[in-house]
Each structure stands twice: as structure tokens, then as C-alpha cells.
Amino acid sequence: MRGIRSFVLFSLLFIASGLTAAEAKRPNILFIYADDQSYKTLSCYDEAPDWVNTPNIDALAKSGVRFERCYLGAWCMPSRASMLTGRLQHAVQSMRMTGTYPGSTYDPAACPFWPAELRRQGYHTAQIGKWHTGTDTGYGRDWDHQIVWNRPAHPENAGHYFYDQIMSFNGVERRVEGYSTDNYTNWAVDYIKGENRDAEKPWYLWLCYGAVHGPTTPAERHKGKLAGNSAKVPNDIFGPWPDKPAYLELTKAWAKGPDGTPYMKKGEVKPGNFDTNKTGLAFDAWIQQVNECAMAIDEGVGRLMKALDESGQLENTLVVYTADQGYGMGEHGFSQKIAAYDATIASPLIIRQPGVIPQGRVCRHPVNSPDLVQFFVNTTGVEIPWRMHGRDIRPLLNNPETEEWQSPMVFTHTARSYGSDTDDIPTDERL
């Protein structure tokens, strides 16, 4: 009888430990971060057109937890600032957007990034892809290995989202050929397979794709692949919006064509305005183009997962897929991010870790950037010597459909103002 009680007690302790038991293994982390990607471009989300097909990202969702309410940022830089510090945008000290856009700066002493602590406490850290938070990329301080497109350092190259990028290879710059999404995937696969890292250490890789940011450019092999498909036009694409903020009249991006279908409004496109796409494009053609651009990301995810499998690391690697923010695709007249609507800022989010995170589940509770950082910190067991704003979301991952989760989430957008610029916003427990 005593033996049975002991067995039952051990079993209950093992089950209750959930995520905690696996944390002792110090898992690798592959953090995939797309740019301006609406959840409507992933076929695992019900809102995607039925002709959208992202099989590799869908496979992630089937083997993990998919979130339906993820809010990481309103635009590129603050989303990344929050992800690097674990703090809400208004509490990221010293960071400024200054000079020629996208110029920015920060003081590393006043604005430390958490990967430095991860590195100091036993992980090999790497970042590949787009860099958007200050000219100082943190190589040698935050990152052991880094291949980045440093946009703030090269405003003249900042519009080259897909070709002809100036890349910094561990601090050494050179211009590279090829399609950026494929380049980033190639370098990430090399890292996963053991290049440029310490094989004796667990690793953290932040892979930051530039797709599908404007000018949204599919790979040559994908151009026209989705031609002829149509998407549902949002009911309020043309307005008016009497019950919405007045600024929607200024941000409306769509005009009614002679046949009544939506077209991108024509207007002056200033030189250097790289955050735009061709005016006069029909709505269906635009939706096709965005989804064709996302196809290379999905292929990349497939290659990354294959590399994990072939290198024997699949079972001990936490994989997270998300985007810095979403992007309006006609809803409320938008073709942009920033605005406080799900259509414009909600990101896709999928979290997968075999044997730790349940498979094929959906969580409808909201999460934000600091929550993800706190999850990484809890999973790796590192200690962060400053206060972060994230909640422990491990209970959500253990039981994604729980109705007992009552922890509120905070999301802020303060434009280009950070830290002391926003002192009137409370940073104490009232948040």
C-alpha cells in the first residue's frame, strides 16, 4: 500500500511540475520574428483566405499552442525595444529615434538588453536579420554571433528590405546579394547545425525576417503563384466611419475603382519613402502579393525545423513564431500598422516544445512582448537584475483554454517617446 501511495505521489508531482521539469534541461530557443505580418497570412488562422497555404507554420501550430490575441508592438522599433528589455515601451530608458529615419540611439548602461544576461549565465546567443534599435547592435556584449542588417546605421540602405543589403557579420560590414528571406534562413540553418557557436552550450537564436514589410516583394519563384485568387473585402474599407476616431479619414488607403472594387489610393510617393507599396494596386492583387511574400518565410520555417531534426536538437528546442506587429489589410480603410485595432497590431504567435507544451491547442487570452521575454527567462532559468513587466504565462501554456486566467495585459503605444519622455505614465504596480 505504501508503495502505491509513493507511486501516486511521484506521478502527481511529475504531472504538476509541467514546464518546470523541462526547464532543468536548459533548452535551446529558436525565436522567429517576422515583420508586419498579419495573422491572416497564415492558414492555421481561421481568418486567412482559404487559398492561403503555409504548411510548415501550420505544422508548428499543430505541434504546439497557437495564440489568437498577441500584441507585441504597434510598429517596428518599439516592438523590438520591448522584446529586448522585457519592459513596456514607455519604460524603455534612453532610447530615442533621432536623425535621418530610421536613425535611433540608446545608452547600453541605462537600457540593458536581456540577451546579455542570458549570455553571461551560460547560453550562446545569436541574432540574424533585421536590426532596428539603435546603431549599436550589441555584438560582443549581448550577442556571441550576429549577422544583421543595421538599418539605423545606414539610412541610405534602409529601404532595401529584400535585395542589396549592407550586412554586418560580427561587426564587419559588406554588401550581399540574394533575396533577404532566403539569406537569413541560410545563415540560421548554418548556426543551428553548429557553425559559429559553442557546441557545449545551449543556444538562443533571434531570427528577424524583414518580410513582409513594404515594399512587399515576393521571391522570384513565388511571384504570380497566387494570381487569380480573391479575398473578402472588409465591409468598411471605404468608410465613412462616424463611430471611429477622426484620424481614419487621414489614414484611409483605399479608393473605389470604376468597377466598384477597391484600389490603393494614388498619391505622391516621396523618394526614400520605402515603407509603402505601389499605388493603384487592386485589393485582390495586394492580398496575393502579401501572401506570395510570406511563402519564403514558410519555406524557411520548414528548413529550420529540418535542420533541428537532422542535428538531433528538435526535442530540446523551444520554437516560437511571431511578428513584431500585424498589418491592416483593408479593415477600417487601413493598409498600415500602428492603429489600435486587432487588424493592425495583432501578431500571430505559435509556441512549440515537444514534451513540455501541449499540441494542437489554441489560447484566446491576450499576451504581450514582456510576457514572452518573461517566458524565455523562466524557461532558461536566468536571473535578470532589473524589473521587467511580463507575467508568467506558463500556466496558459499548460492549460491554454483555462477560464481561471484573470491576469490583465497592458499594451502601450507612445510613438517615438520612450522612458523619461513618458514619465506621466505610471510604471508601478498600477500597471
Residues 6+ apart with CB under 8 A from 431: 88, 389, 410
The model's pLDDT over 179-203, given as tens digits with 9 standing for 90+, comes to 999 999 999 999 999 999 999 999 9
Nearest to 186 by CA among 306, 88, 31: 306
List the Cα angle 343/345/76 in 5-degree steps: 140
Q: Report residue 297 as a C-alpha cell.
A: 518565410
Task: Give the pLDDT score at 152.
Answer: 94
- Residues contacting residue 48 through CB under 8 Å, at least 6 positions apart: 39, 40, 41, 42
Q: Is residue 3 part of a domain?
A: no
Tens of pLDDT, residues 296-344: 999 999 999 999 999 999 999 999 999 999 999 999 988 888 888 888 9
In a domain, 17, yes or no: no
Pull the grid cell for residue 231.
479575398
CA distance linking residue 227 with residue 211, whole number of Å = 19
Phi/psi at 63 (5° precision) = -105, 15
419 vs 76, 210, 290, 390, CA distance in Å?
Answer: 17, 27, 34, 17
Question: Is 9 inside a domain boundary?
Answer: no
Query: Does a structural domain hold residue 273?
Result: yes
Three-state DSSP state, 143: strand
Instruction: Give dist(CA 356, CA 315) in Å, integer.
Output: 10
pLDDT digits (tens, 9 = 90+) for 363-419: 999 999 999 999 999 999 999 999 999 999 999 999 999 988 888 877 777 777 777
Q: Answer whether the bond into residue 102 is a cis peptide, omega within 30°.
A: yes
| Structural domain span for residue 392 | 25-401+409-422
- In this structure, are residues 196 and 315 in contact, taking their beta carbons and an 8 Å threshold? no
Q: Helices marked H in 86-171 — which ranges?
A: 114-120
How far apart (Å, rounded) are the C-alpha atoms in residues 309 and 355?
Answer: 15
Mean pLDDT of the 255-273 span: 74
> What's the burial of 225, exposed, middle or buried (CB within 10 Å: 0-12/13-18/19+)?
middle
The structural domain count of the chain equals 1
Task: List 148's β-bridge partners, or say none.
Answer: 129, 168
Residue 144: is its pLDDT beyond 60? yes
Confidence of residue 46 (pLDDT cuts 50, 70, 90): very high
CATH of the domain at 205: 3.40.720.10
Q: Distances in Å between the alpha carbon of 425 and those of 74, 94, 391?
A: 17, 16, 19
193-232 pLDDT, tens digit each: 999 999 999 999 999 999 999 999 999 999 999 999 999 9
8 part of a folded domain: no
* pLDDT beyond 70 at 279: no
